[in-house]
Amino acid sequence: MLKFDFHYAFNNHSSLHLIGHNTSARYACIDDSDWICGTPKKLDNTFDFRVFYQFKNNNFLVNFGVNRILNDNNHLIQPYRGSQSPILGQGRQIMFDIKYTF
């Protein structure tokens, strides 16, 4: 997996973040007849982004943005020679995080 993170600070309190990741091709069992893995097949590599705005002020931290902008077919894959087919992951999501530090 290759990740990159770019951010631009507007001032000391706010910034814009663009995070991307590329997951190389992986092998997984596609056909699970009788729960036996057979021969694993190669899945394509995946690439996706998330972008968010971050605001920090004293003890508050707020993030607002979008995860999985490309809404790529995100598959959760079992370990090599696992017994289950790849599971389709979640699609595009709106992200809103609030953190307060005491």
**pLDDT for 20-79, tens place per residue?**
988 888 877 766 665 566 677 788 888 889 999 999 999 999 999 999 888 766 777 766
Tokens for 4, please give them: 């990159």
Going by pLDDT thresholds of 50, 70 and 90, the confidence category of residue 89 is confident
Which one is predicted more confidently, 6 or 36? 6
Backbone Cα Rg of the chain: 18
Q: What single letter denotes the amino acid at residue 41?
A: K
Structure tokens at 72: 């790529």
